[in-house]
Copies of this chain bind each other. A is one copy, B any other.
C-alpha cells in the first residue's frame, strides 16, 4: 500500500515558510519565534507529519542509535536488563535497536554487520558470546559495552557486579544469625558462579568454618538435587547459600518436600533477587543486583566510549546488597 507520507516540504508550504525554519521549529532549535514554533507544531500535527528517520540520520553525521544484543533472549533476567537499558537510552535521547538473535549462533557476526550498516554509535552486550572471537570481531568495528565479567579488550568497557562482596554479605549474615554449618549449592558453568564459590570458600575459611560445596548448575532442578546430596552426607547443614535464586527456589522446594521448614529448620539465601524471590510465599533473603543501575552505568560507559572526545574504556564493578526477607533466620538451638 505504499503510503504517501507528509514531508517537511508539505508542512513548510502549508505553514507558509521555508523547510529549514520548519525543521528548526520542530526540533526545538533556539532561534525560532515562539508563535512561529507553535504555528508550525499545529500545522505539522494536522498534517500528521512524522519526520523521516532515515533522511535525518543520513544528513546528521552523529549517529544517535545504539545496538543492544541480548545474550540469552529467553532468560527473563536478560530481557529485564534490556528493557532497563532501552529506557535509559531513551532518557538520554538515544535510540536503540535490539537484537534477539542469540549471540552464539553463526548469525552473530552478520548481526554485527547489520548494526554497522545501521551506523549505530555502539553496542551494549548483555552477557557474553561464548566464543571470544565474536566479541573481538565486534569490538574491532564498534565501541562495545559488555555487561559481565571483565574482558581484556582495549575497545570494550565492562560493567560487572561485585559477586565477592555479595557472598560476603550473605555468609556474614548467616554467621551473625548463629549458623556454623553453612553449605553452598554452586553453579559451575558461568564465570560469576565460580567467583561466588571461591568467595564462599574464602569467607568460610576466614570465619574458621568448614566449607561444604555441592556442585550443580544455575537452575531449579539443581537446587533440588543439591538438597538430596546434602541429605546423604549425614549431618544436615543449618543454612544453605545458593549461587543464584533459581537454585535457592529448587532447594526450598525440596526441603519442604522432605518436611523441613524454612527458615525454622534450614535457612536459605539466594543471589540475584529475581521477581519470584519477592513472593509472599517464598520471601527469599537474597543478594540484589540493581538492574537500573547497571543500565545507567552501561549507557554512561557507552557514551564515554562513543561520543566523548576522550574515548575512554572503563571497567566498573557495581555494589550489591543483601535483601533480608524471611527465608533465613537463627538456627534451631
Which of B50, B100, B276 is in CB contact (< 8 Å) with A79? B100
Interface presence of A191 (CB below 8 A): no
Interface size on A (CB < 8 Å)? 53
Residues of chain B within 8 A of A329, CB atoms compared: none
8 Å CB interface, A215-243 against B: 220-221, 224-225
8 Å CB interface, A258-316 against B: 258-259, 275-276, 279, 281, 305-307, 311
Known contacts A221-B279, A281-B221, A281-B225; A54/B51 CB under 8 A: no
Smallest beta-carbon distance A10→chain B, Å: 15
Kindly state the separation between the CA atoms of A272 and B256 in the bound complex, as whole angstroms: 25
Smallest beta-carbon distance A105→chain B, Å: 10
Q: Are B98 and A50 in contact (CB under 8 A)?
A: no
Q: Are B50 and A58 in contact (CB under 8 A)?
A: no
Smallest beta-carbon distance A212→chain B, Å: 22
| A–B pairs, 29, beta carbons within 8 Å | A1-B143, A1-B306, A2-B61, A5-B119, A50-B113, A50-B117, A51-B117, A52-B58, A53-B54, A53-B117, A54-B55, A54-B57, A54-B119, A55-B58, A58-B58, A74-B76, A79-B79, A79-B100, A83-B100, A83-B102, A86-B100, A86-B101, A95-B114, A97-B97, A221-B279, A221-B281, A224-B281, A225-B281, A253-B256
Seen from chain A, the residues whose Cβ lies within 8 Å of a Cβ on chain B are 1-2, 5, 50-55, 57-58, 61-62, 73-74, 76, 79-80, 82-83, 86-87, 95, 97-98, 100-102, 113-114, 116-119, 143, 220-221, 224-225, 253-254, 256-259, 275-276, 279, 281, 305-307, 311
Known: A1-B311, A53-B117, A221-B281. 14 other contacts (CB 8 A): A1-B306, A2-B61, A50-B116, A50-B117, A54-B57, A73-B79, A73-B82, A74-B79, A76-B76, A97-B97, A221-B276, A225-B281, A253-B254, A257-B259
